[in-house]
Amino acid sequence: MTKKRILTGDRPTGKLHLGHYVGSLKNRVALQHDYDTFLIIADVQALTTNWENPGQLGADVMEVAKDYLSVGIDPEVTTIFVQSMVPAIAELTIFYSMFVPVNVLRHNPTIKTEAAQKGYSDMTYGFLGYPVSQAADITFCKAHLVPVGKDQVPHLELTRRIARRFNELYGQVLVEPDAMVEHLLAGLDGNTKMSKSLDNAIYLADTVDEVNRKVRTDVTDPARIHKDDAGHPEVCTVFTYHSEFNQDFKPELETSCRKGEIGCVECKKRLAERINGLLDPMRDRRAYYDEHPELVRQILLSGTDRARAVGELTLAEVKSAMKIDYFAAEEVSVK
């Protein structure tokens, strides 16, 4: 039986953090043997907000690839590829854009939020339209399942709508994918989301010392001033992290925190040890890939080759369904 396909990925805008690990990377590693997984490094999408500084993209693409490999994504089973190197994605984007109404894009809540955050009074065509390009990212390989954060759900709805509309207009070619919504990890400052822009993140590439220092700054229950004050785990970020990374210790911690038996310093120390224990094997794998950048490039090239081949097949079907394959036979021989 052929496996169902997953497509998901990230914009290369810097290093990935523990929020990415808990919300998505861990899940991708767990699913990679049961699904034919495609991971997109969405460099074109990164340009939609970063078009003035393309110089950094190459290095960021490599960083994301190393993050994937360091958490245990296995390039033997998972196809990691670079968006800009799969021309079918750009071509599909153009075809889909013919029937996507501009108002649907204008009303996309994620686009609105991001535009407000970036202070865009006059959005570019590429930014407004990136959800159409994301639909091409997903449909070029006929993915069935798309694990994403909650903020991406409107984009998934658009992808489903595009697939459905395409199939109605031209015939059954595309797959309507399902979303699989991932959970968020809180930031060190207690914000509901760990994020680079909020500067409240522990990065997968952080050293032991950086993790120790960051965990020490992690916000706790403000009512606990002295070590033996009664604590309120439900308002404490450190407790949230223990629940995520140190499940076995959670019940005991909850009781001793409420009774004021364990101090925050001790509690944080145990958390930092636990996080460092999780990151250590990742650090080892990253060190290996840092020493072998050629290998990372090879992994990206061969993943991209596979994605390109899959994209050409879908594109040929799309063109044939749209009856714009006038020279299909000759095109093959010209190549």
Q: Report the residue number, 43 or 218, with the smaller CB distance to ligand TRP.
A: 43
Q: How far apart are the first and last CA of the chain?
A: 33
287-326 binders of ligand TRP (CB under 6 A): none
Smallest gap from residue 83 Cβ to ligand TRP (A):
7
Residue span binding ligand TRP (CB under 6 A) among the ranges 39-47, 112-120, 235-243, 311-319:
39-47
Nearer to ligand TRP, 146 or 215 (CB): 146
- Tokens representing 100 are 């996507």
Least distance from ligand TRP to the Cβ atom of residue 13, Å: 8
Contact letters for ligand TRP, residues 123-152 (x by CB under 6 A) = -----------x--xx-------x-x---x
CB of 130 to ligand TRP, least distance (A): 7
Of 40, 62, 145, 275, the one binding ligand TRP (CB under 6 A) is 40
**Is there a contact between 11 and 42 (Cβ–Cβ < 8 Å)?**
yes
Give, in degrees to the nearest 5, the angle at Cα 258 between 255 and 259. 85
Query: How far is 204 from 215, CA to CA, in rounded Å?
Result: 14
Here the tokens at position 268 are: 């944080």
**Would you say 154 or 231 has its CB closer to ligand TRP?**
154
Pick 138 or 307: Cβ nearer ligand TRP? 138
17: contact with ligand TRP by CB under 6 A: no
7 binds ligand TRP (CB under 6 A): yes
* Shortest-Cβ-distance residue relative to ligand TRP: 42
**Interface residues for ligand TRP in 56-85 (CB under 6 A)?**
none
* CA 296 – CA 319 distance, rounded (Å): 34
Rg of the Cα atoms in the chain:
22
* 28 touching ligand TRP, by CB under 6 A: no
Q: How big is the CA angle at 76 (ends 72 and 77), to the nearest 5 degrees? A: 80
**Least distance in angstroms from the C-beta of 141 to ligand TRP:** 10
Kindly report the number of other CB atoms within 10 A of residue 167's CB atom: 15
Choices 3-11, 49-57, 223-231, 309-317; region in contact with ligand TRP by CB under 6 A: 3-11
Q: How far, in whole angstroms, is CA 111 from its chain's centroid?
A: 17
For the bound state, the minimum distance from the C-beta of residue 152 to ligand TRP, rounded and expressed in Å, comes to 6
Torsion angle in degrees (nearest 10) through CA of 7, 13, 15, 18: -60
Which amino acid is it at 285?
R
> Tokens 């939609």 label which residue?
48
**Residue 84 in tokens:** 């800009």
**Rule CB under 6 A: is residue 253 a binding residue for ligand TRP?**
no
What is the CB neighbour count within 10 angstroms for residue 304? 20
Q: Where on the chain is the footprint of ligand TRP (CB under 6 A)?
A: 7-11, 40, 42, 45, 134, 137-138, 146, 148, 152
